Chain A
Amino acid sequence: MGFMFFKKGTFVRIRQYVLMPEERAENIPDDTKKVPLKMWVKGRLKHDAEQFEEADIVTASGRTVSGTFKEVEPKYKHTFGDHVEPILQMREIIKKERWGDDV
């Protein structure tokens, strides 16, 4: 495992460490200062590349950016979420307060 090669042109997400903890700004909270500043960008692979290794991509604006090749064809994972009981309860309160018991 770990030898997953992808063709030039594959749409991927890369990650770059922008600042290591010791390079971070002075006036920020300690919990933020302890961790690196990371950056993610998507684009097409500029060359055949192995996942989790360094790679160059071309972004939507046409820039070439280098970083660790993290994800192939990254998907959108955000949703409308789980059932949230208090929302239903608010809805019931609002209907009842406005329209009475009929609704």
Chain B
Amino acid sequence: MSYNVKDLMRRRNEIMKKSVGLDYDSFEDEGIGFDYEAMMAHSDYSLEAIEHIQSEDMVGNTPLVELKNLTAYARKFSAKGKGARLFLKDEASNLSGSFKARRAAMSIHKAKQLGYKGVIAATSGNYGAAIAALAAKHGLKCIIVQECFDSKNVAQPEILEKARACESYGAEVVQLSVGPELFYTFLHLLDTTGYFNASLYSPYGVMGIETLGVEIVRGIRDVAGKDPEMVIATHAGGGNLTGTARGIRRMGANTKIVGASVNLRGLHMASDQDFNKKSFTTGHTGFGIPFATNPDRSDVPRSAARPLRYMEDYYIVNQGSVFFITEALSTLEGMERGPAGNTSLAVAFKLAMNMPEDAIIVVQETEYTGAGKHHQPQLSFAQKNGIELLFGDPSKEVPGKNIIFPSSANKIHVEHVPLDTLRKTYLKRFKDQKLTDKDKAFLQAELRVDASQLDALLSENSERR
């Protein structure tokens, strides 16, 4: 072992403080809460400043495309007068191929401004490629830490592709086998290099996405003369939904914010054996539910990604349905993308069938695809890992055992998750705690509920045992 775990964990706060250039303690309230808006406003970037930084970096102003064939396809199965218009924000056009470049642009800008020589990010996904690309552009050193292999040295193909992308931008990629102790290696690297922690969950990592929400509202106002009825964001760590929603609210749009995740319930995210039974490495319930119900489980003391403050509805969708819509996007729209945004697209396709024809649903991201991460290698990998690929009733899919594709677009399966179940899980850890009025005010904002709803949720929790 090249470091002492106890020593690292003892110095955790000190290492964090040095590596993010932000004193999180200054936002803490007495009791359980902290001043979220003060933390977000602390670094004082205006919307115009963010837009300027991003545009210099070849980030943002991505095409907002109407999916006319997919809309017509959904209408085929809709009642008369139903079948909302589907729009897609083609975030794959950002530098490095995903919306994550919006987040990275701000992290890198901050790192540079504060005089760091390099940046480190713990991520197996697009964010690593985004940080690596922008670090390259700004002459910073870069280390990306990935959870990549299982104990038999078999890697998720999607993560191998991300390692290749990061290396192509000149980054060093540190790859680990399965386990949350990745955090120790991450801390050790921050400690020994003195580099900036380009966390996905810092205020910079989240404020960069606000422009995405702003562009969606502006774009739909331009083409339709109104605000979109609904924006759906694929939800994992919570930053995507949080930042997009903040941008939409900044524009004063009264758009419903919906979260969508792939259903991987039953697979343990820290399990060596489950690791390669997943056909999605993010955008799934294994991140979506824990990060919604405990946002501060992230790699900074207080996460800027707080999805329950903004989410108005949450749906989960089975893997087979997402693969079906991924194929439809390619076959009917000529857009080979994903998988990430297609989780939301599957949900959008289904919800559109029950919304009026003149309503507009925007799916707020796409990502580049390619070897390893395209649905072809993902399903090929699933087959090799003994996952059964079937056509049938997608609601019967068992993650880790099979993937069930719908035999018609009409059978795409989504499941509504009541937000109160997430809110109650969030509140569980305060069950035996005496909450002050200030604590309760914080929780109301955290969970987007009023005083009486909060009391009802708290009392339901305490009755349960």
Contact = CB atoms under 8 A, between A and B. Distances in A.
Interface of A: 16-20, 23-25, 28-29, 31-32, 34-43, 59-63, 66, 76-82, 84-87, 89-91, 93-95, 97-98
Interface residues of B, number: 65
A80 B273 CA distance: 24
Interface in B305-333: 323-324, 327-328, 331-332
Interface of B: 1-2, 5, 69, 72-73, 76, 118, 141-143, 148-149, 151, 155, 157, 160-161, 164, 167, 170-181, 184-185, 192-193, 268, 270-273, 323-324, 327-328, 331-332, 371-372, 374-381, 383, 389-391, 405, 407-409
A40 B418 CA distance: 42
A82 B1 contact: no
Contacts of B143: 59, 61, 63
Contact of A60 (B171, B328, B409): B171
A39 B389 contact: no
Interface of B is mostly: mixed
A62 B170 CA distance: 11
A90 to B, nearest CB: 5
A77 to B, nearest CB: 7
Nearest to B182: A37
A20 B177 CA distance: 12
A84 B192 CA distance: 46
10 contacts: A17-B1, A37-B181, A38-B151, A59-B143, A60-B171, A80-B377, A80-B380, A81-B374, A87-B376, A94-B327
B176 A31 contact: no
B377 A87 contact: no
A29 B408 contact: no
A75 B131 CA distance: 23
B172 A61 contact: yes
B177 A35 contact: yes
